[in-house]
Every structure is written in C-alpha cells, then in structure tokens.
Amino acid sequence: MTTLYQQRLDRYTTAMRNGKPDRVPIRPFAAEVTAVYAGMTCQDVTQDYNLAFEALLKCCKDFDWDATPANMVYVWSGVVQATATKYYALPGVQIPPTTAFQYIEPPEDEAYMCEDEYDALIADPTGFLANRWLPRVTHTVKAPGEANTFDNNMTLLTGMAAMKNYFNAYGPHCARMQTEAQTPGAICGILKAPFDILADKLRGYKALCMDMYTRPEKVVAACEALAPHLLYMAKRTSDPSKTLPVGLWLHRGCVPFVSPPQFEKFFWPTLKYIIEELWKDGIQTLFYAEGNWNPNLKHTKQLPEKSIVYHVDRGDIFEVHREVGEKFCISGGVPNDLLAFGTPDEVREHVRKVIDGIGRDGGYICDASAIMQDDTKIENLRAMGDAAREFGEY
C-alpha cells in the first residue's frame, strides 16, 4: 500500500514539474459528484464535512485516482451558520438540498466596501477587514463603536470554534486518504489574486468595473496593499515539503470580465509578483484558469519555468500547449458539459484526443475543465479515468 501511494505521488509530481512519468496522472477536482456516487445529497456533504470526507474516500478507493483535493465541497455550513455569514446560500437552507452551495454577490449599493473607503483599505488591510468588512458580511457582528450584544459575542466564539474544528479535521482525513485509499492530496494552501479579492469580497464585480474608470490608481494601490498579505497566507498554508502546489482559483481576470489592457494594468502585476515570490521559495502554484484565459497567455509566459501548473477550463488547450507547454505542466481540458451531458464513448474519445495532442511528451494531468459538481455523470467520470489509463501510457 505504501508503494502504491508513492507511485501515485511520484507520477503526479513528475508531471507537475513538466516531466514524463510512467503514464498520465488522473487528478479529479471532484466536489458534489462524490456525494452523488456515495448516495448522498449536496446538503449532506455541505452540512456535515465528515460525510464529505467519507464520500471522497469512497471515490478514491473505487476510481484509482493518482491525486485529488482532500475536500472540494470546501464550504462547511457549520462555519457559515456559526459566523452568520451573508454571502453563501446553503443547500437545504436557502436553496434546495440537491443544489450545490452558491455565492451571493451583493447589489452595487450594498457592497461590503464603499467606493470612498479605498484609502482605509490601503492604509491597513487587516484593520479594514476586522473593523468594517466583518460586521457587514455577517448578520450579527457589531462594528467598533456600536453597542455590544450577546449575539455578537456568540458569533465570534462559535465562529472561531467552528473554524478550528473544521480545519483540525483535515489532518486525520488526509492520513486516511493515504492509509486507506493510498491517494495523495492534490494541493496544499490557498491563494487568490488581489484583484479577485476586491471583486469577489469587497467591491463586487460591477462596482469594481466602475472603479477601474473613476479611480484607477486607487484600484492599483489596493491590489498592491493586499498582495503581501495574500503572499504571506499562501506561504503559511503551503506544503512544508514543497511537494504539492498552492491552489489559486482565478476568477475575474478572464475574457470577458476584463479587457486585455485592464488585465495588464490591474490584474497581472500583483499576481505575477506573488507567484514569482512563491517560486523563489520552491513553492509551485496551481494556476486554475477559470473561464477563457487564452488571451492572457502572453503574460503567463513571463512566469518562471515550472513555477505553475496551468489548468485549462474554457480556453483552447491545444493553443495553451503550443504557447506555454514547454515551460509548464498543463491539466484539465475535459469539458464539464461533456461530462454532464455526453456519453462515455464521447468522453473516452475526447480524452484520447487531448492526450494525443498535448500529452505525448509528459507534462499533462487529466482532469475536468472545472470543479465537478452534482451534474457530472458517474459513468462519464469513470470513463475519463479509464481512458486516461488506456491512452496515457508512456
């Protein structure tokens, strides 16, 4: 069993460093589809992370994956409800139990950061988040100067306890992945682009689009102020052995959310800085390019060789390979709509096409284009892995 675990880990890490292992690794970012396979609902695995762990373990044992994240149903309702957070809709609470959790972006006039608060964020990002942002994103936390309440105190206490309980559960779960299923984890640590923090959690996308025209230098300065904090968090949560990459989910930098000139001015400089600083410490980044990032490939080329694993969602994976395949490992490229609505034969043929087109010299990891939720057909999930084993031998 130890040998099998090590074989899978070696296969995965060799590919991530753009090398040629014995065959193409299979590394599914499988979220609510694990619940479907285990006979559970989205509500089950969101409300009880232990059920999410069990569902993933069952998939690891049955599907012969080379690596996978410890839990892609990353929102646990216990933390959301203990902290009275506003920006998540939970299955079985605000939405049907068979629907994956949703992110609720606030209306422009109710953004969690006001348009005249850039200077406060730039001067002290941590203070801004604690004193202004936190009271706005919860139903019960009070801002400094407001009258304290029992609900405020209990939210802080139960929120901290829930968060500690949740993250402390991952160590034993990862140990079970290794000993019971001989499956390595796929990522370790968390990172977001500074621009995405502004768009996702502070100003909201629509308001930030206006800010890029009305106060562009403030947007740039805010990204620069956030970058050291995000770099620090990525380093502190990264794999101590520097074997696994830090996960980076890229949201608003793709076409058509921002134009190429906007990307070059607002999005790229601080993200490039963070990735390069991580690589100086030998920490690789999983560059999870959600949407179509092909128009930004000329910027991605600037990153140091092997510093990222480039994950392809809606971009042309063959163009990605032509442009950056000599520098970086590529993963993904199996469309989620194909996995949801296609047939096993169609999935098999697509995997063959991708491996023949970009994976023959190594440096490719088989996965869906994006995180697999409850609409992925189990027979197609199985077909993707079987095809990777069949066509991916070197």
Per-residue confidence in pLDDT tens, the chain, 394 aa? 679 999 999 999 999 999 999 999 999 999 999 999 999 999 999 999 999 999 999 999 999 999 999 999 989 999 999 999 999 999 999 999 999 999 998 888 899 999 999 999 999 999 999 999 999 999 999 999 999 999 999 999 999 999 999 999 999 999 999 999 999 999 999 999 999 999 999 999 999 999 999 999 999 999 999 999 999 999 999 999 999 999 999 999 998 899 999 999 999 999 999 999 999 999 999 999 999 999 999 999 999 999 999 999 999 999 999 999 999 999 999 999 999 999 999 999 999 999 999 999 999 999 999 999 999 999 999 999 999 999 999 9
Nearest 10 degrees: Cα torsion 317, 323, 326, 332: -20
23, amino acid identity: R
Q: In the numeric block, which tokens belong to residue 155?
A: 């939210």
Q: Residue 273's closest CA among 307, 239, 249, 247?
A: 307
In single-letter form, the type of residue at position 238 comes to S
The predicted pLDDT at position 109 comes to 87
Domain ranges of the chain: 10-26+186-394, 30-183
Bridge partner residues of 393 (DSSP)? 23
| Cβ 50 vs Cβ 166: under 8 Å | no
CATH 3.20.20.210 fits 10-26+186-394, yes or no: yes
Q: Decide: 71 and 81 in contact? Cβ < 8 Å.
A: no
Which helix (H) or strand (E) is 61 found in, with range?
A: helix 49-63
Residue 165's alpha-carbon distances to 79, 160, 172, 208, 250, in angstroms, are 9, 8, 12, 35, 28
pLDDT value of residue 105: 87
